[in-house]
Amino acid sequence: MSALMVDAQRVHKNFGTNEVLKGIDFEVASGQVVCLLGPSGSGKSTFLRCINHLEKIDAGRLYVDGELVGYRQDGDKLYELREKDVATKRTEIGMVFQHFNLFPHMTALGNIVEAPIRVKGEGKAEVHERAHELLAKVGLADRAKAYPRQLSGGQQQRVAIARALAMRPKLMLFDEPTSALDPELVGDVLAVMRDLARSGMTMIVVTHEIGFAREVADTVVFMDAGVVVESGPPQEVIANPQHQRTKTFLSQVL
Amino acid sequence: MASDLDTARERPETIRAVPVRHPWRWVALAVIAIFVAMFVHLLVANPNFDWPTVRKYLFDPLILRGVWMTIKLTLLSMAIGIIIGIVVAVMRLSSNPIVAGVAWLYVWFFRGTPLLVQITFWFAISALIKTISIGVPFGPSFWSKPTNSLITLFVTALLALSLNEGAYMSEIVRAGILAVDEGQTEAAHALGMTRLQTMRRIVLPQAMRVIVPPTGNEVNNMLKNTALVSTIGMFELLRSAEAIFNANYKTIPLLIDAIFWYLLMTSAWQVLQFYIERYYGRGSTRATSLTPIQKAKLMFAGMQHHGGIS
């Protein structure tokens, strides 16, 4: 079990009476890259948000690195975690959003150093040094002092990736990281993600970039209407889908 | 070839058209000029304005002290009101229903009753609570003093104005907080920030842009609302003027003095407010608004070209 970074067992989630996740079983081993594909409204983003407890699950069990997400189990009973403990666990999971969500009142550098200093209490000098390294890694060494509004979408998303990495997470979640970008800016962001995958980071990527999934993913999971329809290596799921729904979806996006 | 398109052809002649005439502007100007003349005549010809008296008391020490008290009350009660406003707004948005309920009740009470009633009520508080003491609730007290000696007239005025202001400010701050995109909170939470850290470091700084302009209006209102505490005998500007005209019956001249000072203060604030808003708007708009001096320069330059009204 300990080799599993994420282990979801029959996870259900409903918003009011609308059930969006209907029993998701899902495993990600340490160091693996998993791409979540599926039509919009299929529950992929919701599931991703459950993994770092931005959404509460209603049934089933969800473990990250062997620990229950959002709860503490004592015998048969589940206890809700305190806000502080939830926050501490989130520091180990990086998240990248579709709309970047950079803090507009801080520079690129300010965005990156904020959490390591304020949340983890790390030393300023050390964090700044790391932030500059990360900016160089995402190809933005010269934009440290730029405000988000002065950066292109692709640059903003790369800063957002650097911001998440600055916390030294053991798992990275990407929620449609290139969906809000102009087509010519997608490549730079995907290149950064590809490098990250090669460095051995465990990644779960919700995406519509089939090419990226085919090339980088160890496992591709196809979701529709709140269930996992099929999953497996990309050469199987993308090249030779077994289910009709997968076939239909792929024929529409390819 | 694309380059042939432009270089081969000459730019056509710049358009010089006869501008549209505006005869009604001249009519409006004439009508307004008549009214202005009538008003000036009234000011000069009516002896009851008593301009010498107006001038005599304009810088009277009692009036100046009143002006200073008005400024002091405005600044202090705004400062306290803003702090209360932030706390109450954050409480109102809390997930704890009791905390949110208390905040709601606070706003409900202080916005739902007239400020004048609240001022009078705080003034009469010693009739309700004779002594203030610190100790075990319903048990023995360790320290106690008569209410009147603790809550002076100034404290009463400050208490009334700032508690009332806090209710209005909380609504302004709440609107500012709600205007910040939810993605900001999510991103902060995903980085492991607690709700309080998120509020202080991420949400409130961004809410400022929305909070600052209406807060400026609140300061303007407060400058004028301080006149209400004259009813409990606080010597601010209006009460000072009253004290003088109660003695010499020169009501109109002294009210004109008060009006002069109120206008001076609100005008000065208006100028200050413009620059503060400009400062906080800096990050969010591409072009900053022009200062009045820049505008005047532009207008002057424009006049030379177009000859003003035509």
The pLDDT tens digits of the residues spanning A180-233 come to 999 889 999 999 999 999 999 999 999 999 999 999 999 999 999 999 999 999
pLDDT for B138 equals 81
Q: What is the ipTM of this complex?
A: 0.93
Interface test with B, best of A64, A119, A151, A171 (most B CBs within 10 A): A119
Looking at residue B1, its pLDDT comes to 47
Low-confidence residues of chain A: pLDDT under 50: 1-2
Would you tell me the crossing angle of helices B182-190 and A83-90 to the nearest 10 degrees? Answer: 80
Which pLDDT belongs to residue A155?
A: 96
Nearest-by-CA chain B residue for A50: B190
Report d(CA A59, CA A39) in Å as an integer.
Answer: 23
Considering only CB atoms, which chain B residues are within 8 Å of A97? 183, 186-187, 190
Q: Which residue in the set A103, A163, A164 is minimally distant from B202, CB to CB?
A: A103
| Predicted model pTM | 0.80
Mean pLDDT in order along chain B per 10 residues (310 residues): 60 89 93 95 88 92 96 97 96 92 96 95 83 81 78 91 97 95 96 94 92 93 96 94 94 95 96 86 59 76 54
Give me the pLDDT at residue B156, please.
92
- Residue B287's pLDDT is 52
Q: Which residues of B touch A120 (CB under 8 A)?
A: 192
Q: What is the pLDDT of residue A2?
A: 45
**What is B67-134+142-280's CATH number?**
1.10.3720.10
d(CA A229, CA A44): 12
Length of chain A: 254
pLDDT in the model for residue B285? 52
Give whole-number Cα distances, B190 to A4, B160, B247, in Å: 21, 42, 68
Contact A115 B183 (CB under 8 A): no
CA dihedral A139→A144→A146→A151, nearest 10 degrees, is: 20
The reply to whether residue A95 touches residue B192, judged by beta carbons under 8 angstroms, is no
What is the count of residue pairs from A and B with beta carbons less than 8 Å apart?
Answer: 65
Q: Would you mind telling me the total number of residues written for chain B in this entry?
A: 310
Cβ(A42)–Cβ(A51) below 8 Å = no
CA of A241, closest CA in chain B: separation in Å? 34
Q: Is there a contact between A90 and B194 if contact means CB atoms under 8 Å apart?
A: no
What pLDDT was estimated at residue B142? 81
Q: Which residues contact B194 (CB under 8 A, 6 or more apart)?
A: A83, A84, A87
